[in-house]
Amino acid sequence: MSAIGEFIDYVTTAGNWTGPKGLLRLTVNQLLVSGIAVVVAAAIAVPAGLGFGHVRRGGLAAVSVANIGRALPSFAVLVLAFGVFSQAGRGLSIWPTAIALTLLAIPPMFTNTYTGVRGVDPRIRDAAAGVGMRRSQQLWKVEAPIALPLVMTGIRVSATQVVATATLGAWVGFQCLGTLIFEGFAQQNDGKIITGAVLVSVLTISIEVALSKLERRLSPWATTPSGGPVDEPPDPTLASPFHPGRPA
């Protein structure tokens, strides 16, 4: 039987979907561990990024975090976390995977949030202070909403990365979609391997699409078609800092 045929065979067998190691359970686990990682990482990275961005300090920290994040091998962190939790007798749990994924998720969120706040046009900061906003109002009413599209991009990048990487959790005994792949290899079951791979891909792409949509809904202004009416006579200064693409 061809690999495709085995795959179709595997997913159409009802018994493969149910039970403690069924596809539904594994998918839920994959999403659960990813959800924990993204939420915890966001709870750490977004406030930190907002804070550092608002005071306009920590540019070096942001760059360093980004670089470390890029250089950090997820797999090494996973094995390390597994080692640490094993010492505590909790090796075979959700936690080593959750911790490793959290560390993976933090850099894109922090860097994007920081960059988003830090990058707010100085004239707009000026206006926010000048109309009489307190410091906290300047952050929450102006800087944070303007940074939101970038923050959401950071979350989206992190989330897709996390969902895809959660697959590795199977290596340290966490029951997730990766389990299908590892077991499939061990059992030389192509249908199982492909099912795992396809489900991971579908999940990742779905998350990407869903968060992209959310991103646009949360910041309608950022997708406003640029270029309003032209002053009579034509006004060459229409290219605002927010829509530099408009031809003068």
Partner 1 sequence: MDAAIVLNDVTKQFPGSADVAVGHLSLSIATGTITVLVGPSGCGKTTVLRMVNRLVEPTSGQILVEGTDIRSQPVHELRRRLGYVIQQTGLFPHRTVADNIATVPGLLGWDKARTAARVTELAELVGLAPDLLDRYPAALSGGQQQRVGVARALAADPPVLLMDEPYSAVDPIVRHRLQDELLDLQQRLGKTIVLVTHDVDEALRLADRIAVVNVGGRLEQYDTPTNVLRQPASAFVEQFLGAERGLRRMGLLHVADVTPSGGAIVSPTDTPATARSAMAAANMTWVGVVDDGRLLGWVDGGDLNGQATVAEAELRPFTTVVQPATVLREALDVVVTSPMLAAAVIDPDGRYLGMITIDQISDGLR
> Applying CB under 8 A, does 15 fall inside the site for partner 1?
no
Say whether 247 sits in a helix, a strand or coil.
coil
User: What is the size of the binding site for partner 1 (CB under 8 A)?
Assistant: 39
Residues 183-222 as x/- pattern, contact with partner 1 by CB under 8 A:
------------------------------------xxxx
142 contributes a contact to partner 1 by CB under 8 A:
yes
Chain residues 73-132 in contact with partner 1, contact rule CB under 8 A: 121, 123-124, 126-132
For residue 238, state whether it binds partner 1 (rule: CB under 8 A).
yes
Q: Please enumerate in sequence order all residues whose Cβ is within 8 A of that of 208, keeping only pairs 6 or more positions apart, or say none.
A: 156, 160
Q: To the nearest 5 percent, what fractions of the chain are helix, strand and coil?
A: 75, 0, 25
**Does position 146 bind partner 1 by CB under 8 A?**
yes
Of the residues 70, 134, 213, 217, which one makes contact with partner 1 according to CB under 8 A: 134
Q: Judge contact between 222 and 145, C-beta under 8 A.
A: no
Q: Is 32 exposed, middle or buried (0-12, 13-18, 19+ CB in 10 A)?
A: middle
Residue 12 or 237 having the CB closest to partner 1: 237
Q: How many CB atoms lie within 10 A of CB 128?
A: 20
In the complex, which residues of this chain contact partner 1 (CB under 8 A)? 121, 123-124, 126-134, 137, 142, 145-146, 148, 219-222, 224-231, 233-238, 240-243
